[in-house]
A and B are shown apart, each in its own frame.
Chain A
Amino acid sequence: MDELNEEQPLDFKLGSEAGGVPVLSLSGELDIATVDRLDEPMAPVLASRPQRLIVEVSDLDFADSSAIAKLLVWSQSVGEMELRGASPLLRRVVATMGLEGRLHLT
Chain B
Amino acid sequence: MRASRTFAPNPECVRAARRFAAKVLEDLPPGAFEPIELMVSELATNCIKHGGTAFELTITQRPGEVRIEVCDTGAGMPTVRSPRPEDPSGRGLQIVGMLSDDWGIETADSTGKTVWLTVSTRPQAGETASTSAR
Which residues of A come within 8 Å of B, CB atoms? Answer: 1, 3-4, 9, 29, 31-33, 62, 64-66, 68-70, 72-73, 76, 87, 89, 93, 96-99, 101-102
Contacts and interface: CB of A to CB of B under 8 A. Distances in A.
A97 to B, nearest CB: 7
B9 to A, nearest CB: 11
B12 A4 contact: yes
Interface stretch (B58-66, B87-95, B115-123): B87-95
Given A65-B89, A68-B91, 20 more contacts: A3-B16, A4-B16, A31-B11, A31-B14, A31-B45, A33-B14, A64-B38, A64-B41, A64-B45, A64-B92, A65-B45, A65-B91, A65-B95, A66-B45, A73-B88, A93-B99, A97-B98, A99-B85, A102-B85, A102-B86
B91 A32 contact: no
User: What is the interface residue range for chain B against chain A?
Assistant: 20 to 34
A69 B89 contact: yes
A97 B91 contact: yes
B49 A101 contact: no
B92 A65 contact: yes
Interface string B12-25: 11111011100000
A102 B85 CA distance: 7
Contacts of B18: 62
